[in-house]
Structure 1
Amino acid sequence: MTEDEITKQIIGCAIEVHKKLGPGLLESVYEECLQYELLQRNLLVKRQLTLPVVYKDIRMETGYRLDLIVENKVIIEIKSVGAINDVHKAQILTYLKLMGCKVGILINFNVYKLTDGICRLVNKY
């Protein structure tokens, strides 16, 4: 399955979650519900994956946790904020770089129309 095909599945699942729950809940609620919807579509999903940082050839297990990764190809970062800003985009770009993935989706569920809260990012490194 290509990144584009996975992205379409993710967006469809996110819209389903948003239709049922609406805006204003905690990120963790949307994360768990989105994982459920993705699993219902028989997609491989990992949740709260720790991203180590390599420092002087030593693997440090502190650092980052990504919300979801689908089919080991597309990273999802979930937000429930007033607006997406550059810090949120930088966060997912960092995850893409550390994981060696090409595509990430930033989803802000705290919007009236979910398509206004979706941002697809591509790792150009």
Structure 2
Amino acid sequence: MINPSYKHSELTGKIIGCAMRVHRILGSGFQEVIYQRALAIELSENKIPFEREKEMPVYYKGEVVGSRRADFLVENVVAVELKALSLMEQSNILQAKSYLEAYNVETGLLINFGRPSLEFKRLINGKYKW
């Protein structure tokens, strides 16, 4: 069995590389939507399939109880949540992990453009169901 933290590491590495290019060009200080649009351009230029503002069902005990938009769903396997915060807190990480569980997506990335250096966190959904 593949260790979940490595399962999509090549893809998450490509996504992080795209985010780094966006951050290098734009820097910090813009609203999240600006970074979202710029990252969409980078992903497209790098031929990485994605859906932006993907409407995702939210599950509770196997039943759909609502929906939420993921910033990106990349190759149908990695949910990407963007932030533009001067300080990313534990609550942001917990929220992103909750989204993975609610979407039933195995792998996620939380990317923060709001600091002088790009911040990112790879996330694994420990409750993922095949």
Change (3 A) 1:106 1:54: closer
Rounded Cα–Cα distance in structure 1 between residues aligned with 2:43 and 2:110: 16
Q: Could you tell me which runs of 5 or more consecutive residues in structure 2 were left unpaired when the two chains were aligned.
A: 1-6
Distance 1:22 1:74 in 2: 24
Amino acid at match of 1:16: R
Who is 1:44 aligned against? 49
SS in 1 for 2:116: coil
2:40 maps to a residue whose letter is: Q
Tell me the percent identity. Answer: 35
Please state how far the C-alpha of 1:90 moved relative to its aligned partner.
2.0
Partner in structure 2 of residue 89 of structure 1: 93
Give the SS at the match of 1:34: helix
Shift of residue 60, structure 1, vs aligned partner:
4.6
Q: State the shift of 1:59 in Å.
A: 4.1
The equivalent residue for 2:106 is: 102
Task: Give the aligned length.
Answer: 121
Structure-2 separation of matches of 1:78 and 1:9: 15
Matched, 1:29 2:34: yes
Comparing 81-90 and 4-13, the one that deviates more: 81-90
CA shift, 1:55, in A, is 6.4
- Contact map agreement 2:78 2:105 (CA 8 A) in 1: yes
Distance 2:61 2:79 in 1: 26
TM-score normalised according to structure 2 size: 0.83
Is 1:17 the counterpart of 2:19? The answer is: no
Shift in Å, 1:122: 1.0
Alpha carbons of 1:24 and 1:55: their partners in 2 closer, same or farther (altered >3 Å)?
same
Matches of 1:110 and 1:122 in 2, distance apart?
A: 23
RMSD of Structure 2 on Structure 1 (CA):
1.9
The structure-2 alpha-carbon separation of the partners of 1:60 and 1:9, relative to structure 1 and needing over 3 Å to count, comes to same
Are 2:56 and 2:68, in contact at CA under 8 Å, matched by a contact in 1? Answer: yes
